[in-house]
Amino acid sequence: MNQILFGQSNLLEKNGGSLAQLSEYMLTPENWHKGQQAVQQALPSPPLVQQSLPTPIIALATPVRSRYKPRMKDSIFWCIYTEINDEPTGETNLVNVMMHEKRTISEFFNQNPNLLKNSNHKITLAKINEIRCNLMTKQFMDSIDNFIPCSIYYKRPIYVLFEDINAYMKFVDKNYVSDDVSDAINESILIYASGGRFSRETCRSKVAEFLQTTSLSFFYMEHYDKLLSGVSTYKLDELKQMYATVFSNVDETLKKQEYYEKVLVKCHTVVNEKIR
């Protein structure tokens, strides 16, 4: 056939005449696997994929709560009470807790009324009787003078910082004595007053910072009822400094009496704001 079509002699006969010579070109299972291996070897190797390590999960630190803001009414009472006793938990009836504690304080001063005279805020006999009466009859502590019996009963200095005017007051028993600075820091209570509500500083380092340095940048009001002394007791520069502290700005155009009146009115308005 090869001779007829192509004019060539039979290749098989020329080369020995056996079909076995073509076995390597036949589609046999062995040749199929060899062919697949050859194709795989001829293909370029796939690029190595670098597996990235899982991103570590960094736990964010929970911010430390620095201020305790009472969720119950009568923020004065709960600020002081929770400093001494911690906040009641569980299904405790908070109204019962408050009424029981106030009754205990009232009975204490009914038996020892003269102790109220020990406050660093001078008060009259009429005021002493008013405080005692309010402890017995009023459901809530709704005036700034309630810090007087609290500071004496709990034997703890109380600092009330009025943030709206950069001013503060101190309530303490005149007989209070601390053994050292650390005791004074640990026993002092720092209260923030703003918008008729009170909150308490829970961070001791911030209390220490206030007592040792920060308080110097605030205006100190010596008495809850008489916020300023008479105008004649101040120099013009002192009133300017008081004005700058209370209003957070400087006004060089005012006269001495004007500085005094503006500072007094502003402080009186903030201190006597309705307490909620």
Number of Cβ within 10 Å of residue 264's Cβ equals: 15
Percent of residues, the chain, with pLDDT higher than 70 = 76
Determine, yes or no, domain membership for 180.
Answer: yes
| pLDDT confidence of residue 7 | 53
pLDDT tens sequence across 153-207:
999 999 999 999 999 999 999 999 988 889 899 999 999 999 889 999 999 999 9
Number of Cβ within 10 Å of residue 140's Cβ equals: 16
d(CA 226, CA 208) in angstroms, rounded, equals 27
Determine, yes or no, domain membership for 41.
Answer: no
Determine, yes or no, domain membership for 199.
Answer: yes
Q: State the greatest distance between any 2 C-alpha atoms of the chain, in Å, as a whole number.
A: 146
CATH number at residue 203: 3.90.70
Q: Is the pLDDT of residue 109 over 50?
A: yes
| pLDDT confidence of residue 88 | 81
| pLDDT confidence of residue 20 | 57
The model's pTM? 0.76
pLDDT tens sequence across 28-87:
666 656 666 665 665 565 555 555 555 555 555 555 568 999 988 899 999 999 999 988
- Residue range(s) defining the domain that contains residue 94: 67-223
Determine, yes or no, domain membership for 95.
Answer: yes
Q: How many domains does the chain have?
A: 1
Determine, yes or no, domain membership for 61.
Answer: no
- Give the three-class secondary structure for 16: coil
Better-scored residue on pLDDT, 58 or 105: 105
What is the rounded (10 degree) CA torsion for 31, 35, 41, 46?
A: -130
Percent helix, strand, coil in the chain, to 5, is 50, 10, 40
Per-position b or e across 187-197, b if 16+ CB within 10 A of its CB: ebbbbbbeeeb
| pLDDT confidence of residue 5 | 46
| pLDDT confidence of residue 72 | 86
d(CA 210, CA 170) in angstroms, rounded, equals 12
d(CA 167, CA 55) in angstroms, rounded, equals 50
Determine, yes or no, domain membership for 58.
Answer: no
Determine, yes or no, domain membership for 47.
Answer: no
